[in-house]
Amino acid sequence: MHEMSIAEGIRDVIEDSARANGFSRVTRVRLEIGRFAGVETEALDFAFDVVMRGSVAEGATLEVIELPGKALCYDCGAAVEIRHRLDPCPDCGGGKLLVQGGEEMRIKDLEVL
């Protein structure tokens, strides 16, 4: 379950930010996760609750914002949104797509006290 190590990484970033910016509590964490990032959000939510115990983010709400899959079609040149990596171009039906978005994962912001 790599979601546990993802949650640990999030905790480390939060703790570093708390030390650097002088806040003592996080009430909400908003994460942007791309459709193709391979993260199970239910597992991440569970891991987040477990890993944040004893940290400045204990009891914080995790909000996941799913980012769409994006690709460039080599057949028609369109920038398109796709649901699955191997989907054809929704504009022309072509199969030569270069994924250009949807693999990212980042902390968008923190709500702190």
Which tens digit of pLDDT belongs to each residue from 58-86? 999 999 999 999 999 999 999 999 999 99
Between CA 56 and CA 48 the distance in angstroms is 13
What pLDDT score does 29 carry? 98
Between CA 60 and CA 82 the distance in angstroms is 32
- Cα angle vertex 16, ends 12, 20, to 5°? 170
* 84 annotated binding-site participant: no
* 86 annotated binding-site participant: no
Between CA 25 and CA 56 the distance in angstroms is 5
Between CA 25 and CA 9 the distance in angstroms is 17
* 89 annotated binding-site participant: yes
* 2 annotated binding-site participant: yes
Residues of the chain with pLDDT under 70: 1
* 23 annotated binding-site participant: no
Domains, in order of start, for the chain? 1-112 (3.30.2320.80)
